[in-house]
Chains A and B, each alone.
Chain A
Amino acid sequence: MADNLFFVEPTTSRRGFLKLITNLMIGLVAAVLTVPLVGGLIGSSFRLKKSRWADVGNISSLPLGQPTSMKFPYKTEDAYVRETVTHDVWVIKHSSSELTVFSPICPHLGCHYNWHPDENEFICPCHGSVYALTGKVLGGPAPRALDTLPWKLEKDRLFVEWETFRVGIPQKIRT
């Protein structure tokens, strides 16, 4: 039988010994070879992307208490691809030094939501989640409030740390 070919005959014969040690050697080589293969498969699958501060622009002319969408160039570093892409954030200016910055990504399933000044609400077109000016969920399937982003002001220039979060869950977890 074939299994007899591979495994040791129940003897202590020289051939039985040879079969066992040959299997052992081949097994070891295969096992060691598995290490880089697994490493290569995992790769950077579990590595958080580095977030970076980006210059979003001048906020001196923004209206008070009104969300404004601000677009800015952002240098991404995705593995070996480095390019500049355009991102946007919702900025609400409370005073010259107090702001709220929302990520433009809907925490439900990741669509881009919009500000509806007539209703005074953020509404996501995809599944109809509705958020208040504070980011609180007012309706729809959204599992959590809008995600705020870290920001800082240098004179009148707004800098935002661009981060993304897992969508579809109540917790705000970075991706």
Chain B
Amino acid sequence: MNVRSQIAMTFHLDKCIGCHTCSIACKNIWTDRKGTEYMWWNNVETKPGTGYPALWEDQDKFKGGWEKSKGKLRLKSTGKGRIVANIFHNPSQPSMDDYYEPWTYDYQNLFNAPEGDDQPTAVPISMVTGEYMDIESGPNWDDDLSGTPAYARNDPNLSTLTDQQRQQLTAIEQMVFFYFPRICNHCLNPACVASCPSGALYKRGEDGIVLVDQKRCRAWRSCIAACPYKKVFYNWSTGKSEKCILCYPRIETGQAPACFHSCVGRIRYLGVLLYDADRIEEVARLSDEALIEGHRSMILDPNDEKVIAAAKENGIQESIIKAAQESPVYQFVKVWKLALPPHIEYRTLPMLFYVPPMSPVMATRKNGALKSVTDDFFHDIEESRVPLEFLGNLFGAGQTAPVLYALKKQKAVRWYRRAVTVGDVTMETAKKMLAAADCSVEEAEAIYQLTSLCTVDDRFVIPPSHREEALEAFQDPMQRKQEAGFGFISGPHRGL
């Protein structure tokens, strides 16, 4: 057992209101520079929809993530063998057209336009070339556009649905959508890191944050194609790749990342997970059906004596183990099994987990009359407007069972709370539902608590970063005093 700690995340999709506050918070801090205008390290998509960059989930096109070939894992895009052939031109790299061309407006024209019969307009100007341009797409361009032929109907997750299910998703008055906020998943088996010819991308050992070393990045762009979530971006001005840094300067000072902190729906949770790093390869090679369970089994119980001992052996501090024990993410992912990894079939083992959203019930059953409580309490989940298969493709590697489990539990908890506070459901019914959803009363209370009444401190359990133990701390500032002076940690070498 090789215990490592990871800052992991949960997004509770049932609470996301699609306000994009998270995206703006991130943009204002990190990507307001030249070359990054088009980047949204955090973006919020409407599902069904094509997303940003358009059709990022279409791995036939973008070749992101890993694939199994003869029992071995290899990158779908530029694996080692093909890197030489593809180094001058990366065939699966998205271009700016797949995102959008960033623009501003010629506001001066509003003031300077000569007098005329028409109102002056602020014409859009490209932020790349500075020339006038026609806007063809933008970030969140398919926002709320459920049912549209160009966007919603092209969602790659619809591929396994029947025609009837598709029609149901797009029929007027039946239309439905939910929001899907996305950031880098800070994966355990990151394809971006594995693909980098220069070794510029790396995972931080202490907290698992995945970063790009700007000095080592040589613009080979392999990571951009390799990340199946398209969460590494190319800065066209500096010629370097950039990505979500999980606001590590904030985390190291005990603050939640900006998108987490600003989230209006309070859907975001952040905490430590302990995992067994020896099992990464093995789990990433599992069959699609076994992936979710395998991924979950890598996450270790922070209260288990053996795990604690192994963690300490690996230099993980008490404070981090304590944070892992209090981690809200651990509850959602491992204990309650409510939160699921997105597209784990890409085999990067993401460390961001989503609680799948509840959706409206089919409203036209039986001449428009809704069924009330029936003996099978959960019929409406299987018949809900967002087909389970769709959610299964997103969060279950094509399996509906894990999604169904999470939705049932969510519904049971709701009905249980209805029995407690409203009283229109009998406690007996509620308890039957809880039992059917594999949930105890205590668990239901805890879920309710962490979902609805959570404070900032409940949502974000951020361990201290222990910078005092960083490598520099072990270097004696006096070591090179005679040769170079106080504080020098490398000798006064000259020339090469």
Query: A and B from one assembly?
Result: no
Which residues of A are in contact with B by a Cβ distance under 8 Å?
A: none
Which residues of B are in contact with A by a Cβ distance under 8 Å?
A: none
